[in-house]
Structure formats: C-alpha cells, structure tokens
Amino acid sequence: MRQSIRLGRPHGIPVGLHWSVLVIMLLLTQGLAVSLLPAMTGGYAPAGYWLASAGFAALLLVALLLHEYAHARAAQHYGLRVRSITLWMFGGVAELDGEPPHPRAELLIALAGPAASLATAGVLLLAVGPADSLRAGLLEAGLGWLAVMNIVLAVFNMLPGAPLDGGRALGAVIWWARGDRAAARRAAAVAGVVLGLVMALGGLFLSVATRSIAGLWLILLGWFLAAVAHDEEARLDRARRGEDVRAGADRGRRP
C-alpha cells in the first residue's frame, strides 16, 4: 500500500500513513468530542473536548503503529525483511518479504501484534489511577477509552480468519499439525471469507433492526475481510495449480 505521509525508518522499516487514515481520525475525533467524552465527564468547554479528542485519536494511531511494529520486529527476528508499515482506513499493514521458516515463527509473528496491544492497554490502565488522583477527569476518560480500544484491537485481530492475526495463528497451528503450509493457509483464507460474510450480515441485520446506519461500518469491514481472504484463497489455488502443472510436465519428461 502506497504511503501518503512518511514518518521515518525505525530499524530500517519505512513507516507511514495512507491518506485514508485521515477519515478515521476525523470520525474518531468527532465521536469523542460530541458524544463520548461529554457523556463520561462534564464541565469542559467545547474547544477543550475537541482538542482532547484530537489528541486521543492521534494516540490511538500510535497504538496501531505499535501493534504493527511488534509484528515487524518479530518478523525481523526470524530473518524476514519488512518492506513497510502503513496505517490506513481499516487499521495497519506490515508488509513482509519472504515466508516464516517454520510454524512457530509464523505463530509468534502473528501473536506479537495483539500482545503489544494488550501490553499498551495495561500501561494505559495503570495511568488511569494517577489521572484520577489528580482529578483530571478528561484525561482519565481518554486514557480509559484508549485502553478499551487497545483491548478491542487485540481481541478483534485474534478472530480466526485471514487476514487477521487470528487467521495467521490458525494457519500456523494447522501447518504444525498437518505439515502442509499451503493447505494451512488455504484453510485460514476460507475461514476469513466466512468470518467476513458473517460480520457483513451481522452489520446488515443491525442496520435493519435499528432502522439506522449503525451496522454500516461492520458491513464495510466484513466485506473488506471477505474480499481480501477470497483473493488470498484464489492466489493459493493458482499457485497450487501451477505446481500441479509443473509436476505433470516433469513426469512427462521422464524416460
């Protein structure tokens, strides 16, 4: 994914933002400033809510970067090159060159991101106590929201379907159990298609039941996951057919 804004190259990894991440920033800031923070703590001027909301939305992007950076550093530990880390509308992407050398490596690379998100949530929850003692209600509310969002990020990413981390972890376990990397990845991709369709249908049901657009984001996210997983499944099928054709040609050349 092409980066619109480049942030640096920690450990040789190009880190940046896609322009679509600005859409999420605006939506998060608006939701926090207009609804969530005023409901959690009152007595502040509208400008204070907007400024604080922009800061907390930016901190959530930092947390997303930490999630993807953990994947990248785990991949580097196993000798893989990381082409880039990019944040965009639906989260973040760490693009890797090469394949993990064994199932354990694939599993640990997949789990590194959710582990980083849970660790970030733990630090934020520890920081809520001092904010409360200082009677900094707005800071306390924002830190609590950030902690919850990091927990949600970790749990959501562990759902068992590619391209989510849980799908990669599922593929690693199947690879270890069956000894077939390609079959494991195909199973994870199929699970991702099913998961995405279930999410999209759930969002549609929510919108119909509430007669609102409450489920629109779930529909879009489910559609995206199903589309990416389907593309991965198709790519794996093409690779398998290519290997079958080459194997058949090799057999035909034997005397």
Regarding whether 88 and 172 lie in a shared domain, the answer is: no
Last residue of a domain, one of 125, 158, 191: 158
Residue 97: per-residue pLDDT: 92
Q: Which two tokens stand for residue 140?
A: 């306390």
Tell me the per-residue pLDDT of 21-73, one tens digit each, with 9 for 90 and over: 999 999 999 999 999 999 998 889 999 999 999 999 999 999 999 999 999 99
Residues 1, 79: one domain?
yes
- Is residue 245 exposed (0-12), middle (13-18) or buried (19+ Cβ within 10 Å)? exposed
Contact (Cβ atoms closer than 8 angstroms) between residue 193 and residue 230? yes
pLDDT at 217: 87
Domain final residue pick, 158, 175, 197: 158
Q: Is residue 64 part of a domain?
A: yes
**In this structure, are 15 and 29 located in the same domain?**
yes
Q: Is 232 a catalytic residue?
A: no
Residue 43 lies in a domain: yes
Q: Tell me if 114 is assigned to some domain.
A: yes
Amino acid at 123: V
Domain identity same for 53 and 1: yes
Looking at residue 249, its pLDDT comes to 47
98 and 183 co-located in one domain: no
In a domain, residue 255? The reply is no
Report yes or no on 169 lying in a domain.
yes
Residue 254 has pLDDT above 90, yes or no: no
Q: Which of 158, 190, 218 is the last residue of a domain?
A: 158
Is 223 a member of any domain? Answer: yes
**Predicted local distance difference test score (pLDDT) of residue 247:** 45
Claim to verify: residue 84 and residue 194 sit in the same structural domain: no
pTM: 0.89
From the list 68, 106, 232, 233, the catalytic residue is 68
Kindly state whether residues 198 and 151 are assigned to the same domain: no
Q: pLDDT tens, 90-148?
A: 789 999 998 999 999 999 999 999 999 999 999 999 998 876 665 668 889 999 999 99
Residues 207 and 136 in one domain: no
Closest of 61, 164, 79, 58 to residue 114, by C-alpha:
164
Same domain as 148, residue 172: no
- Asked if 152 and 164 sit in the same domain, the reply is no
Residue 42 included in any domain: yes
Q: pLDDT at residue 245 above 60?
A: no
For residue 1, what pLDDT band results from cuts at 50, 70 and 90? Answer: low
Based on the domain organization, do 50 and 136 belong to the same domain?
yes
Is 253 a residue whose pLDDT tops 70?
no
Into how many domains does the chain fold? 2
What per-residue confidence (pLDDT) applies to 242? 62
Condensed to tens digits (0 to 9), the pLDDT of residues 153-167 reads: 999 999 999 999 999
pLDDT > 90 fraction of the chain, expressed in percent and rounded = 73
Query: Which residue range is the domain that position 62 belongs to?
Result: 1-158
Residues 14 and 122 grouped into a single domain: yes
Instruction: Tell me whether residue 170 is in a domain.
Output: yes
